[in-house]
A and B are shown apart, each in its own frame.
Chain A
Amino acid sequence: MSDISRSINKVDNDEKITGKAVYIDDIKLENMLYAKTVRAEITSGTIIGRHYPEMPTDYHIVDYLDIPGNNYVKIIFEDMPVFVKDKVGYYGEPIALVVGPDKQVILDIISQIVFEYDAIAPIYDYVDSVIHYDYEKGVGEAVFEPANRVIEYTYETGYQEHVYIEPQGVIGDTDGDKISVYGSIQCPYYVKNALINTLGMDEKKVRVVQTTTGGAFGGKEEFPSLIACQVAVAVKKIGKPIKLIYNRVEDMAYTTKRHPSTIRMEAAIDEQNNILGFRAHVSLDGGANIGLSSVVLQRAMIAATGVYNINNLAISGDVYRTNTVPTGAFRGFGAPQMIFAVEMFIHHIAKELGIDPLILRNKYMAKQGDSTSTSGHFRDPIIMKDMIARAKELADYDHKIKLYGEHMPTKDMPGIGMSWFLHGCGFTGSGEQKHIKAVVRLHKDVGDIVTVLVAAVDMGQGIKTTMRKLVAHVLELPIEQVIMHNPDTDLVPDSGPTVASRTLMIVGALVSQAAEKLKENWLAGKEQIFEEKYKQPKYIQWDEESFQGNAYPGYSWGVNIVEVAVSPVTYEVTLKGTWSVYDVGKAIDERIIMGQADGGLLQGISYGMLEVMENKDGMVQQKTVTDYIIPTASDTVNMITELMDNPFELGPFGAKGAGELTLIGGAPAVALAIENAIGKSVTKIPVTPEYIMSLIEGE
């Protein structure tokens, strides 16, 4: 059998390159109407009066009064209304849709709508905690009593906007009995369950179909459920197909973003300069709705030690409600914030103690068998030592780190930084077992064509190619004999959402088990169906209350080295090089992983140095791609990446998660490179020229 990692032509290359792939905005149904959202124009308060104009024929207002079921979007917390009834939580919160055949007329109608409000003072500070968790490891808090010294730093991270190039969009349709929603989405069954809840309809009467998705990065995890519910309510009322597509400004101003955070880190140090333990507190800005924030907070808190083995911990965290646009899922899900803080902190501790950071980091780098932050165990081999050595060699790190950081005020200041990181693959704790309960199916028809029936979506990460390749490899069939379509909830079982770096490792493992069974029982020319259900491995013991046990079935690991030059005049940062080594178990398709690695790292680096989004008086200030800068090809360099095999026993062919991992190390690596260049401690991202100036010139 050939090595599965050898790359093949992606199955959707042809349709995507030639412009034939059908994205949601490319679909036009007969008699289709358009919808546009009517939004609140205060940040906090109550609606006390609604004045809708007279509607021309075939134009409609759809609001909370039209909702047949529950007026909340079924996510984790049930606090996001489908349409505002009276209480407004943030500027731009959706109150109604205007629906009709002509977009210009719709805009005219919206301009005539008037709401009366009773506004109240909004909250923007971290004062209204709506979720609180804490946990300890070892002796916990008590380790600070015998400490010789306590080192404390506080780190801050900003918003990050997904900027998938295809904005949010859905189309709803009905045959008079059943409601179908098509959309650019990550999680068909999240949307379906939300529709059942809001429409109050039987599950058989609701169908969700994913259309080719032009980027998601977490932004199409929970948010599409909101607009799908709105459009479905409108379809139910009006009985015609309806399309709702966000323009870029709406998308940037009113859809979920990465949680801004403030992370306080403290280390207890003994007389021999050993780290006895950490105390940390994570504050996340949840915006107006909690949504998924509790799960994001859990992941951030569990990442509190990064790749290091620290014996005693006291970790706490809060999600704060503010009168701002809700924050939500974004590639990495709380880990990018925390890994930034930890990687900076370990350097700052070393600096304070006068130790070479590399020596300190190596001393605490976790090894196989060590305990995790939540007192579970790293069961599998950790090959970070080799990965770090290789990355350093590729980047000529040891040489450069000695050379750089000498200040020559007339020349660009060179700097190099290295981050080490890990990512727990799959849902936290018993999430797979308790909440997701994944089911996958393989269907073989009489022509011996095998179809993979899963709810996983291809949003660019190439899962259609990797799933087909997996099955073809197990069955020793040509890939053309294995099919996978965009999921349609009428046809595929609920294999769970396309999130949390779980798709290949968890869903792929089930699919390859089903393929093994099909192979053993293969009957040529006969229709056959094989189904697999997720069974939690015995070693996963997790206590959700106390955060004790194995939080994840497995971990992927990475090393990023980033080199920059900082202008001594403008303090602008130029990227000079990146070198990365990853352990994702075993790549199912090497080129696909390398591509994900490039894109993930660039998102991470620009999160760390470029992407500025501010909220002023409850309003997002950067609402266009002119104002919110993401890197272009000119801002980017040739990125060097290598993979090291470290097969994971439970993953298909040894594969682990890769999607999120590659974003996580970017911000700390670039922040450390800038710190190296300017010789000042960086505690905040993005590291903008203004921030560098304030560090160099003092406030």
Chain B
Amino acid sequence: MLSGANSAANSEIYNKIKSEISSKVSNEVSNEMNSELSSKANNTVKNSMSKVTFVLNGQAVESSENPTKRLLDILREDHGLVGAKEGCGEGECGGCAVLLDYKIVNSCLTPLGSVQDKQVITIEGLSLSTEGQTIKKAFEDYGSVQCGICTPGMMIATASLLHHNQKPTEAEIREGLSGNLCRCTGYNMIVKAIQYLADEKGELWC
């Protein structure tokens, strides 16, 4: 078992999401990606040494890339997971956000080596889970999406926020989104979507 077991992510809900994602990942996410992953995994197993092992969207993966390489590049270039976007490259915009043991991190500032034995969930994975689909529906109903470039990051931020605080106040919601810049929406309709989720869908996270 991987050491994510000790983290905050070790809640039932996390495991539930994880298993949901991994079953869906193997069914729905492109087979092409899976075979790419497994061939990579095979290669890296062979040349052992400094490989980094982690769980990506519910599946164990290994990377023999330089551990200082940005997780963002690993995801986008090696795994074809381009849902995380580079908006600034310096940890300020949240466009590249992913869940690391169910907590939001900016993958542009996360070195590959630091995810050793951890669980990484990207927007591609999140959106397959019940939580992801529930947030998605709220974003649709409240008009939270305009150009969409910040949206994967906003989804990740919402999941991270609600995971750690099922009943956030408006101020806590705003604080929870404050690492994610959006230039289109003025945040109004994103905040409203999350208020709805907190009011009506709290049971999903508790």
Contact = CB atoms under 8 A, between A and B. Distances in A.
**A and B are interacting partners:** yes
Nearest to B91: A626
B36 to A, nearest CB: 13
Interface residues of B, number: 52
Contact of B181 (A21, A25, A165, A598): A165
Interface in A493-540: none
A25 B151 contact: no
A288 interface: no
Interface in A1-50: 7, 9-10, 12-23, 25-26
Nearest to A217: B183
Given A19-B123, A167-B87, A632-B178, A603 B140 contact: no
A186 to B, nearest CB: 12
B185 A599 contact: yes
Interface stretch (B13-21, B47-55, B141-149): B141-149
A12 B185 contact: no
A581 to B, nearest CB: 16
A462 B176 CA distance: 26
Contacts of B171: 634
Contacts of B145: 10, 12-13, 16-17
A639 B149 contact: no
Nearest to B142: A591
A636 B93 contact: no
Q: Which of B93, B95, B146 is packed against the most chain A CB atoms within 10 Å?
A: B146
Interface string B189-201: 1110000000000
Given A165-B87, A638-B191, A23 B186 contact: no
Contact of A12 (B84, B148, B187, B190): B148
Given A16-B151, A214-B147, A215-B149, A633 B92 contact: no
A166 B89 CA distance: 11
B85 to A, nearest CB: 7
B10 to A, nearest CB: 26
Given A598-B188, A599-B184, A599-B186, A19 B146 contact: no
Contacts of A98: none
B65 interface: no
A459 interface: yes
A626 B109 CA distance: 15
Contacts of B191: 633, 638
B124 A21 contact: no
Contact of B88 (A21, A22, A248, A636): A248
Interface string B115-152: 00000001110010000000010011001011111111
Q: Which of B124, B145, B177 is packed against the most chain A CB atoms within 10 Å?
A: B145
Given A165-B182, A602-B186, A633-B174, A625 B92 contact: yes
Nearest to A641: B188
Given A17-B140, A19-B124, A215 B83 contact: no
B177 A633 contact: yes
Contacts of A15: 148
B139 A598 contact: no
Contacts of A162: 183
Contacts of A21: 148
Contacts of B76: 26
Given A18-B127, A248-B90, A599-B186, A165 B147 contact: yes
A153 interface: no
Contacts of B189: 591, 594-595, 598
B90 A624 contact: yes
B82 interface: yes
Interface residues of A, number: 57
Contacts of B186: 598-603, 636, 639
Contact of A638 (B81, B83, B123, B188): B188
B188 A214 contact: no
Contact of B188 (A18, A247, A462, A639): A639
B139 A215 contact: no
A163 interface: yes
B188 A636 contact: yes
Contacts of A460: 146-148, 184
Contact of A598 (B89, B124, B147, B185): B185
Interface string A204-243: 0000000011111100000000000000000000000000
Nearest to B122: A19
Given A164-B183, A214-B149, A17 B136 contact: yes
B56 to A, nearest CB: 14
A225 B92 CA distance: 28
Contacts of A335: none
A633 B178 contact: yes
A365 interface: no
B37 interface: no
Contacts of B25: none
A214 B136 contact: no
B148 to A, nearest CB: 3
Q: Which of A12, A23, A634 is packed against the most chain B CB atoms within 10 Å?
A: A634
A17 B139 contact: yes
B28 to A, nearest CB: 11
Given A19-B152, A625-B92, A632-B181, 15 more contacts: A15-B148, A19-B82, A19-B122, A19-B123, A25-B82, A25-B86, A165-B182, A214-B147, A248-B87, A594-B189, A595-B189, A599-B146, A599-B185, A624-B92, A633-B173
Closest 4 CB pairs of A and B: A19-B83, A214-B149, A460-B147, A16-B148
21 contacts: A17-B127, A17-B140, A17-B148, A18-B83, A18-B136, A19-B82, A26-B76, A165-B95, A166-B87, A166-B149, A215-B149, A215-B184, A217-B183, A462-B146, A595-B188, A596-B146, A603-B186, A626-B92, A632-B174, A632-B181, A633-B178
